Amino acid sequence: MAAEVQEQGLQQKAKEAIITLNKAAAIQIAEQASSEMGASELVDFIEGGFKAGIMVVGDRFGKGDMFLPELVAAAEIMKSSLAILEPKLRENQVAQEPVGRIVIATVKGDLHDIGKTMVSSLLMANGFEVIDLGIDAAAPNIIDAARKNQADMICLSALLTTTIIAQKEVVDALKEMGHRKDFKVMIGGAASSQNWAEEIGADAYGADAQEATEIAIDLLKK
Amino acid sequence: MMLTAVPQMGLLDTAAKERIHEASLSILEETGIQIDSEMVANTLQEHDIPCEVTGKQGDRTLWRVKFDRDTIMKSLKTAPKGITLGGRDTKHDLYLDGKGSPDSVYYGTLGSAPVVHDIETGERRLGTLNDLAEFARLTQQLEHLDFFHVSVMPSDVPNCVVELYRWKATFENTAKHSITAASYDARNLPYLLEMVAAVQGGEDELRRRPIFSATECPIAPLFFAERAAENMVGLARAGLPVIIYSEPFAGASSPVTLAGTLLVTNAEQLAGIALTQIANPGAPVIYGGVSTTMDIRSGNISFGSPETGLLNVATTEMARFYEMPKEGSGGRTDSKLVDCQAGFEKQGNLLLAVLAGANLNNCAGTLESNYAVSLSQLVIDDDIAKRTKRILAGITLDEETLGVDLIKEIGPGGQYLGSPHTLAHMRQELCLSDLCSKGTYEDWVKKGSLSLEQMAQKKALDLLNVSEPSSLEPVVVKELEKILKSAEKAHGLT
């Protein structure tokens, strides 16, 4: 009974650490949990603690009570905290099922990072596992990463009207390799559009981080 | 004695400007900039600027370049303090001084917008080459716009040579000075230079009064990526004007504080100026801070924010500190419509920029944080430019304008309606709008009860109907076509 109460207390603290953007506390809580809890307890702890916290942040962001930089910070704190717990989870082969697994990148030739980071953060805040390949990512690398990580979805960002063509290259390469049906593809970034998504055969276009997340939730439900 | 009282504004005193300058030098000396171009790294190393390899980004090598104080100070010394930008027609030449004199303040379009709000259907759709031509032709017709930033990114031409289609359509449709990124692919730059030489009848004339200048953008913070950095160097070598187009947005690619964003902008400017001056001392270069802020709710860039207006003033003051010409963001808007938000954001921020003395104010025709352009908005912005020019002209004070004798003569209870003094001065003293509703309500109803947008739409369509499609000599048009064809061939298009 006492142990359970303490466990709930730690879970509650983890949630609060995320909501209050307290990185030092989050890390300390993760370390404590890692040493005190068994692997299967950890899964529940993450769900009810860190993940519950970031869902609150995502919700408050949606309502306009918290702002984008806070959402990005929360996602980063969560990532650092989960990294502490990961070895124990992996060691014990405890499967953690995310809402969905997404590989995201800014496409080849485009060096703009910020819009993609925003989308990445909001996806994480909504329970997705996000593998962020950074900027200037070539089609083969993106597809390799999606296959290796058994991703459900590929998100492709392009800011420049001259680089959106690289979004098409990824879709074309997926088709050529016979993997188009293995992944949903969403495009975004200032230069892309709904029309472009339709033209190149992507599944969706996300106009901003909020819309991209809503679409991801919707697409991966199906 | 005649005195013209001209409104001016400033935010930073000398100590503040020196502080920004010193902090910029320390950033460039200790942190430096990142580049990923071998050509630029080689150029810098030939001039004993240390470039240190820091890693790889895919297949590109990344270098860190640190500039010492002497290099920067030397560059600031050789950078021209005034620049003439040519129009295809000399009556459109612009002289940019480094002092921000009111008669060196100009207004123009902005764009490279992928989206166009169709003037006839109202549809929001991707822009085409024909849209670009229409924006250029209308800009040519609008009296208060002085230069043409290539407004549209056409979706209906091959991507690998899109810039050459843009330049060609621009030169064909306007004789005003034109501005945009020189090329998106370094291989296309020589074709552009061929094109402008053809339009201007040779390279000497081109260098004397270049009809185009190139906005080349670092990626904030402090990354001078391949194409832009190579164009800075390549254009400087050719003696053609480069605008170092820093666009940090506060909270995302620079500190959220305006001071910190100003500092990132200024450091990028000094680095860009150094790149051009190392490549070719004396090459024309323009301080181009268009810093802005992030909307922390959506993550979008906010050009219409009041802070963007303040940043425009402060970056202009830093350009003045170096006695360099300045391009700034003028008055832009985040509004999705031709509406009240567009009006107050544009006029508010444009006024701040010009009161600080920014030379090139690019903003006309844009909506949606520059994502879209509208011909109706372009016409409205011409009217805003007219008002703004009037404000900047200030109040002329002399015996004649004071009218002491006249006031005594007419005396209490009299009127000035038909007086020769009124007739003599009314046209230059009072600015008239072609669009704004000024008469009585009944008069407005009689004229069709049109909204501002409807008035603007009508004027735009009328002007487009009477505008010449091209004022370029047919032989030059042929030459441009030939150059474009050979570029397409080089890219493997037939």
Using the 8-state DSSP alphabet, how is residue B159 labeled? G
Buried b (16+ CB within 10 A) or exposed e, B163-194: bbbbbbbbbbbbbbbbbbbbbbbbebbebbbb
Q: What are phi and psi of B144, to 5 degrees?
A: -95, 0
Of A69, A165, A191, the CB nearest to B114: A191
- Locate A1 and state its tokens: 């009974």
- Interface probe for A, chosen from B298, B334, B336, B368 (most Cβ of A below 10 Å), is B298
> How would you classify the pairing of strands B94-97 and B82-85?
antiparallel
Q: Determine the average pLDDT of the residues in B114-135.
A: 95
User: Do B126 and A193 lie within an 8 Å CB cutoff?
Assistant: yes
| Chain B hits for A162, Cβ within 8 Å | 159, 162, 184-185
| Chain B hits for A190, Cβ within 8 Å | 114, 371
- Interface probe for A, chosen from B128, B219, B224, B231 (most Cβ of A below 10 Å), is B219
Cα B238 to chain centroid, rounded? 21
Q: B interface toward A at CB cutoff 8 Å?
A: 57-58, 60, 112, 114-115, 126, 153, 155, 159, 162, 184-185, 219, 223, 225, 251-253, 256, 294, 296-300, 371
Judged on CB neighbours under 10 Å (0-12, 13-18, 19+), B491 is middle
The minimum CA-CA distance between A41 and chain B, rounded to whole Å, is 36
Distance between CA atoms of A95 and A87, rounded to whole angstroms? 12
Paired residues of B109 in beta bridges? B364
pLDDT greater than 70 at residue B287 = yes
Distance between CA atoms of A88 and B129, rounded to whole angstroms? 59
Distance between CA atoms of B177 and B95, rounded to whole angstroms? 11
Residue A212's SS3 state is: helix
Which pLDDT belongs to residue A3?
A: 57
pLDDT greater than 80 at residue B199 = yes
Q: Determine the average pLDDT of the residues in B34-62.
A: 94
Torsion of CA A127, A133, A137, A142, to 10 degrees: -60
User: Do B371 and A190 lie within an 8 Å CB cutoff?
Assistant: yes
User: Do A161 and B153 lie within an 8 Å CB cutoff?
Assistant: yes
- DSSP structure string for B460-474: HHHHHHHS-S--S-H
The minimum CA-CA distance between A216 and chain B, rounded to whole Å, is 18
ipTM, 2 decimals? Answer: 0.84
Of B114, B225, B251, the CB nearest to A161: B114
The minimum CA-CA distance between A194 and chain B, rounded to whole Å, is 11
Compute the half-sphere exposure of residue B392: CA atoms within 13 Å on the CB side of its CA: 25
Read off the pLDDT of residues A18-61 as tens digits, 9 standing for 90 and up.
999 999 999 999 999 999 998 889 989 998 999 899 989 988 98
Q: Determine the average pLDDT of the residues in B235-250.
A: 96
- Locate A212 and state its tokens: 């991209």
User: Do B162 and A64 lie within an 8 Å CB cutoff?
Assistant: no
Distance between CA atoms of B358 and B365, rounded to whole angstroms? 19
User: Do B112 and A161 lie within an 8 Å CB cutoff?
Assistant: yes
The minimum CA-CA distance between B368 and chain A, rounded to whole Å, is 11
Q: Which of B109-113, B314-318, B422-426 has the lowest mean pLDDT?
A: B109-113
User: Do B219 and A111 lie within an 8 Å CB cutoff?
Assistant: yes
Percent residues over pLDDT 70 in chain B: 99
- Nearest alpha-carbon partner for B98 in B268, B287, B271: B287
- DSSP structure string for B219-264: BTTTEE-HHHHHHHHHHHHTT--EEE----EETTTB-SSHHHHHHH
Paired residues of B286 in beta bridges? B243
Of B58, B256, B294, the CB nearest to A136: B58
Q: What angle do CA B86, B89, B94 make, to 5 degrees?
A: 35
| Chain B hits for A135, Cβ within 8 Å | 57
Which pLDDT belongs to residue A90?
A: 80
- Locate A114 and state its tokens: 């910020």
Which pLDDT belongs to residue A184?
A: 96
Using the 8-state DSSP alphabet, how is residue B439 labeled? S
Cα A218 to chain centroid, rounded? 15
- Residue of chain B nearest A163, judged by CA positions: B159
Of A67, A112, A193, the CB nearest to B296: A67
| Chain B hits for A112, Cβ within 8 Å | 219
User: Do B159 and A165 lie within an 8 Å CB cutoff?
Assistant: yes
Can you state the percent helix, strand and coil of chain B, rounding each to 5? 50, 15, 35
Q: Determine the average pLDDT of the residues in B254-258.
A: 98
- Nearest alpha-carbon partner for B293 in B357, B234, B250, B334: B250
Percent residues over pLDDT 70 in chain A: 95
| Chain A hits for B184, Cβ within 8 Å | 160, 162
Give the Cβ contact number of residue B211 at 10 Å.
24
- Interface probe for B, chosen from A68, A112, A116, A118 (most Cβ of B below 10 Å), is A68
- Residue of chain A nearest B60, judged by CA positions: A136
pLDDT greater than 90 at residue B364 = yes
The minimum CA-CA distance between B217 and chain A, rounded to whole Å, is 12
Q: How far apart are the first and last CA of chain A?
A: 41
Distance between CA atoms of B230 and B212, rounded to whole angstroms? 17
User: Do A193 and B115 lie within an 8 Å CB cutoff?
Assistant: yes
- Nearest alpha-carbon partner for B173 in B137, B120, B198, B225: B137
The minimum CA-CA distance between A162 and chain B, rounded to whole Å, is 6
Paired residues of B328 in beta bridges? B361
- Locate B60 and state its tokens: 């590109």
Q: What are phi and psi of B252, to 5 degrees?
A: -120, -60
Give the Cβ contact number of residue A59 at 10 Å.
13
Residue B414's SS3 state is: coil
Paired residues of A168 in beta bridges? none
Distance between CA atoms of B250 and B295, rounded to whole angstroms? 9
The minimum CA-CA distance between A188 and chain B, rounded to whole Å, is 13
Read off the pLDDT of residues B365-419 as tens digits, 9 standing for 90 and up.
999 999 999 999 999 999 999 999 999 999 999 999 999 999 999 999 999 999 9
Paired residues of A153 in beta bridges? A102, A184
Residue B424's SS3 state is: helix
Which pLDDT belongs to residue A4?
A: 57
| Chain B hits for A193, Cβ within 8 Å | 114-115, 126
Confidence of residue B58 (pLDDT cuts 50, 70, 90): confident
Q: What are phi and psi of B318, to 5 degrees?
A: -70, -40
| Chain A hits for B155, Cβ within 8 Å | 161
Judged on CB neighbours under 10 Å (0-12, 13-18, 19+), A35 is exposed
Split chain A (222 residues) into runs of 10 and give each run's mean pLDDT. Answer: 65 96 97 92 91 91 90 90 88 76 93 88 87 93 95 94 89 95 94 90 92 92 70
- Locate B274 and state its tokens: 């150094």
Which pLDDT belongs to residue B285?
A: 98
The minimum CA-CA distance between B59 and chain A, rounded to whole Å, is 10
- DSSP structure string for B186-220: GGGHHHHHHHHHHHHTSHHHHHHS-SEEEEE--BT
Which residue stretches of A92-160 are H helix? Answer: 114-125, 139-148
User: Do A138 and B58 lie within an 8 Å CB cutoff?
Assistant: yes
Residue B8's SS3 state is: coil
User: Do A68 and B219 lie within an 8 Å CB cutoff?
Assistant: no
The minimum CA-CA distance between A50 and chain B, rounded to whole Å, is 23
Which pLDDT belongs to residue A1?
A: 46
Compute the half-sphere exposure of residue B332: CA atoms within 13 Å on the CB side of its CA: 31
Of A118, A191, A195, the CB nearest to B299: A118
Q: How far apart are the first and last CA of chain B?
A: 68
Cα A34 to chain centroid, rounded? 22
- Residue of chain A nearest B159, judged by CA positions: A162
Of B60, B162, B371, the CB nearest to A162: B162
| Chain A hits for B126, Cβ within 8 Å | 193, 195
- Residues 6+ positions from A27 with CB-CB distance below 8 Å: A80, A81, A84
CA separation (Å) from B342 to A127, A191, A208, B366? Answer: 38, 22, 21, 9
Distance between CA atoms of B324 and B334, rounded to whole angstroms? 29
Residues belonging to chain A: 222
Using the 8-state DSSP alphabet, how is residue A39 labeled? H
- Locate B419 and state its tokens: 């007086």
Q: What are phi and psi of B127, to 5 degrees?
A: -75, 155
Distance between CA atoms of A21 and B361, rounded to whole angstroms? 41
Q: How many CB pairs under 8 A join A and B?
A: 52
User: Do A112 and B219 lie within an 8 Å CB cutoff?
Assistant: yes
The label of the residue with tokens 């992030």 reads: B294
Question: Contact at 8 Å (CB) between B170 and B150?
Answer: yes
